[in-house]
Structures are given as C-alpha cells and as structure tokens.
Amino acid sequence: MKNGFLSKLRSVFAGALATMVVAGAAHAQETSRLDELLSRGKLIVGVSSESPPFGFVDEKGELVGFDIDIAKLIAKATFGDETKVEFVRQSAAQRWPNAQNGTIDFGAQTTSIYADRAQKVAFTRSYIDGGVVMIVRKDAPFQKLADFNKSDVTIANLTTPTQEERAKRLFPSAQIATFDGIAAQFNAVKLGRAQGAQLDGPVAAWYVKQNPDMRVIEERLTDVVNTGIFMKPGDFRLWQYLDLTVSEMTGGYLFADYSKIYEKWFGTKPLNVKWYLNQPQK
C-alpha cells in the first residue's frame, strides 16, 4: 500500500520533472534577454559612477566616462540612437548580483576578466586593456615594487579579493589597509596613511594628471589584463550579440567610433586588434 503510493508519487514527480526539462529547453531556445531589450527599445546598463575616467559624475552632475560612452555606442549600434540607454549605478560588489538577477542587461564597469568571476557571469572579449599599477607620493623613496615589501609600509587596497591576494603575494611583509572606493585609497596615500595604492592603470593616470604631487611606479603589478562587458550567464544570444559588438568596436566597422571615445578619455589613439592595420603607411 505504502510502496504503491510512493511509486505512484515518484512517477508523478518524474513526469512533472520531464515536462519541466522539455519546457525549459524549449524556453531557453526561444527567449533571450536580447528580445526583451529590443522590444523595450533601450538598454539597461550597470556602470560605476565612482571610477574616473571610466564612469563618474562631472562638474555639471552628468554621468560621463569611457564606459558610459561605450554603452552609448552599443545603444547607437542597436537602436541607431545613443540616448536609448538607462544607467544603473552600482558598486563593485553589486556587479554580480545585479547581472545575475536581471536588474541590468549587462555591465560595463572596468571589470577585469578572471576565472573566478567568469564562473559567476559571462564576459565578452576585451574592449580595453587594463592592468594594475602602484601609485605613490611624488616625494616618496619608492622606485620598484621590491621597495614596498617592508613591515613599515602600508598598501591601500580596494575591497576586491584579487587585490588582497596580489598584495599578500607581492608584499608579504607589508601591512594592508582596505578601502571601499578609489578616492579613499588615493587619499590614504596622499595623506600618508598608506605608502602605496593599487589602482587600475588608466584610473591612476587620470588621477595623477589632476594631482601633480603623486606619481605612478613604472614597474607594473600585473601583466596586461582584459576588461570585458559582463552579463548573466547562460543567455547565448545576448552574449553573442554583445561579444560581436565588442569585436566590431575593437577591430571592425565600429572602430572609428571606438577610437574617438578612446582618444577623448585617454588622449592617445587605440591600436586596432587587427595588428596588420597598425603598420606604418609606406
């Protein structure tokens, strides 16, 4: 009696499960966030408003920056109108939940590609090179990275595990102080609370330009890292569409627009990913 009931229950469950799997598979093929954003007629993009020059608030109170312009360029490519984009301002820690729970279509937020992150979100190919540098006061005695590995040196980190791991690996003897924003890191060094801060290369260049009493250590902390646009994993059509757009920006029909944006924020022309196009003209 009991067994009969259990097996009946089991078969009912198995049937329900099979139905769900089939429905799920059909569902996955049909609907993509891409359809949703196309019918909505605008992009919802997660960005930082606290990371100059990638995403920050200018003197007029406008949200501006390299990532902001990249998102506008994607809107222009998608809808023929760069204003068709709504920005969601998010902290570094909020990037993952916002991408995973559908608060944003995708994020463009100076996000370096690492394996542990790629397990949480899907990344496009790189749209700009990144890399971490050390920033110090101009009058500080530091010349190379080895100079920081002393017990009386404090390294200012951002609240990301990668920075913590890197500081412990490169400077095992040094003290570590952790901050939740780039300005706090920078100010810690400026005011002498810390001797060096780990910053993204372009961000450091931007701050040093505004603060002549600071300088960047020549020796980099990392090799060049890739910066990807990230989104909820498992949506192949959306991922392919965005990855394709990035590929066109860095080496295709959108390269001219991309170059303009790059030059506006970094003052130099970007190289085309198609290396043979970068040869000097004979």
Partner 1 sequence: MFPVLQSNLPYLLQGAVYTVILSAIVVSCGTALGVGIGVLASVGGAILRSIITAYIFLFRGVPVLVIMFLGFYSFPALGLRLDAYTAVAISMIVYVGAFVAEATRGAIAGVPTGQTEAAKSLGMRKGKMMREIVLPQAMRLVIAPVLNISLMAIKQTSYASIVGAWELSFAAREVVERTLAAFQIFLGVMLIYFIICYPLSLAARALDKRLAFDS
| Type of residue found at 279 | Q
Among 32, 36, 42, 49, binds partner 1 (CB under 8 A): 49
Residues 149-208 that bind partner 1 (CB under 8 A): 181-184, 186-187, 190, 207
Residues whose CB is less than 8 angstroms from the CB of residue 255 and which lie 6 or more positions away in sequence, other chains included: 248, 249, 272
Q: Determine which residue in the list 42, 76, 89, 120 makes contact with partner 1, applying CB under 8 A.
A: 89
Question: Is 55 or 270 the residue whose CB approaches partner 1 more closely?
Answer: 55
Pick from 3, 83, 101, 268 the residue near partner 1 by CB under 8 A: 101
Q: From the CB of 186, what's the least distance to partner 1, in Å? A: 6
Contacts of 75 (CB under 8 A, 6+ apart): 42, 43, 81, 82, 83, 84, 85
Edge-to-edge strand ranges of the sheet holding 63-64: 50-51, 55-57, 63-64
- 111 lies in the site for partner 1, by CB under 8 A: no
39 binds partner 1 (CB under 8 A): no
Residue recorded with tokens 């463009």: 108
Min. distance of Cβ 181 from partner 1 in angstroms? Answer: 6
Positions 203 through 242 that interact with partner 1 (CB under 8 A): 207, 210-211
Nearer to partner 1, 94 or 226 (CB): 94
Tell me the number of residues near partner 1 by CB under 8 A: 28
Helix (H) or strand (E) holding 35: helix 33-40
Per-position DSSP letters for 104-152, written without gaps between them: -SEE-S--B--HHHHTTSEEEEEEEEE-EEEEEETT----SGGGG-STT
Residues that bind partner 1 (CB under 8 A): 49-52, 56-59, 61, 88-91, 94, 97, 101-103, 181-184, 186-187, 190, 207, 210-211
